[in-house]
Amino acid sequence: MKTINIHDAKTNLSRLVAAAVAGEPFVIARAGKPLVKVEAIKPTSSHSRLDILPGAFQVPDDFDRMGQGAIADDFER
């Protein structure tokens, strides 16, 4: 694992983050003393949040018109 001094890390942050995401973690050091380890976050699941309850929700065909009369009444007061 490579060690990068803090000034070089600030200068090359985008490149270093891209390398970490590609599987090359690195250590940021100040005056040769390691401060932090930077590595990619591993995904916790392979599905999106909307996939957890398939078929549990149904959107009515008139969803974009629901409550239209009540809303219009509120503006006419």
User: For position 65, what pLDDT does the model report?
Assistant: 86
Count Cα neighbours of 1 within 13 Å in the Cβ-side half-sphere: 12
Strand ranges of the sheet holding 2-5, from the earlier edge strand across to the other edge:
2-5, 26-30, 33-38
Q: Evaluate whether residue 76 is within a structural domain.
A: no
Q: Evaluate whether residue 45 is within a structural domain.
A: no
Q: Evaluate whether residue 21 is within a structural domain.
A: yes
Q: Evaluate whether residue 33 is within a structural domain.
A: yes
User: For position 50, what pLDDT does the model report?
Assistant: 63
CA distances from 51 to 17, 63, 75 (A): 29, 21, 38
State the amino acid at position 1 in one-letter form.
Answer: M
- Give the pLDDT confidence of 10-62 residue by residue, as tens digits: 999 999 999 999 999 999 999 999 999 999 998 776 666 666 777 777 888 88
For the segment 68-76, the average pLDDT, to the nearest whole number, is 86
Question: What CATH number is given to the structural domain containing 33?
Answer: 3.40.1620.10
Number of separate domains in the chain: 1
Structure tokens at 60: 């009515």
Q: Evaluate whether residue 15 is within a structural domain.
A: yes
